[in-house]
Amino acid sequence: MAHPQNYRAYGVLLRGGKVLISAEWIGSVFAWKFPGGGVWPEESAEEAVHRELMEEASLDVTIVRELHDPGTKVSPWTRAPYTPIYFLIAAEGEPVVPAGEKVELSFMDPEQVLASGLVADPEKTALRRALEA
């Protein structure tokens, strides 16, 4: 299956009025984003969200619905093209970062996330849409 350029899939997990954020280095820039990452050539974006959330957070997720598919953008962090897609997800249990993963996960106040310069605009749009649901 042919994917768009640098196809990336992310999961937005809301729980108790908070949103799960992954704090990590993207190239040489520290940023906040939703857990997720690259979509492999042989998988769908939904499959990538399942795999990435297991790899980064040890969470078995259920996809609730698609939130935002903005098309190919230029990353504010790397200045390279990427094509993100965001899904509202549900999951039981607490997120646990496996050894070797270089991310820090925490549930944060959505207003703090929306006000932060550490978050890219497509993430902010996806979060607003998740909060509207």
The domain that contains 113 carries what CATH number?
A: 3.90.79.10
Q: What is the pTM of this model?
A: 0.95
Per-residue pLDDT of 35-89, as tens digits, reads 999 999 999 999 999 999 999 999 999 999 999 999 999 999 899 999 999 999 9
Provide the number of structural domains found in the chain: 1
**Per-residue confidence band for 133, with pLDDT thresholds at 50, 70 and 90:** confident
Residue-range definition of the domain harbouring residue 85: 7-132
DSSP state of 77: T
Per-residue pLDDT of 95-119, as tens digits, reads 999 998 899 999 999 999 999 999 9
